[in-house]
Amino acid sequence: MIDFEILLLSLVAALVAAASFVVALQSYRFAKSPVVAVYLEPGENSRVAVLVAKNFGSGIAYDIEFSGYESLPVFEPLKEYVYSGFLKNGIPMLVPNAKRDTIVHVTEFAEDLFEDETTYEVEVRYYRSNKNWRRLMRQTFILEYYSFANTINANNIRGSNS
């Protein structure tokens, strides 16, 4: 009877060890994963709105594609450039902390956007991979202009005093 109990406890311990290994492996993979986000931010001088795609993760993102960006209001003279850049063509590879950005609006001409609470969805699709596998990642981001209204860029204040 004691042999059976020892065998059962050994089996349970082996299963716990195997489960711990699987969890550790998944944690390691997640820690080395890319995390690509798309967001709007004010330009350095607060006179422009900039669309940014950035890899916040610690892994390389491959074959990044964007959709839904066509509904985002863009300053008319910039449309040709914005829509023919990385949003249309994608990004072949984005290393950790790297980003691509493009000016999408000049704030002097966007006052109506700052009062409009309309949101715009942009989807990002990219692959995380290693030499043995590729996994498609996909996420939708909600972009809006109205949170820019009545904001003051701290860099401008510091810059004006120096």
61: nearest Cα among 24, 102, 103, 97: 97
132 vs 109: CA distance, rounded Å = 50
143 vs 131: CA distance, rounded Å = 34
126: nearest Cα among 41, 34, 44: 34
pLDDT tens per residue across all 162 residues of the chain: 668 788 888 888 888 888 887 777 766 666 678 999 999 988 777 678 899 999 999 999 999 999 999 988 888 888 888 889 999 999 999 999 999 999 888 877 666 676 778 889 999 999 988 767 788 999 999 998 877 766 665 655 555 444
21 vs 133: CA distance, rounded Å = 20
51 vs 91: CA distance, rounded Å = 14
Q: How many residues does the chain have?
A: 162
Strand partners, 51: 40, 102
104 vs 119: CA distance, rounded Å = 15
**Is the full-model pTM beyond 0.85?**
no
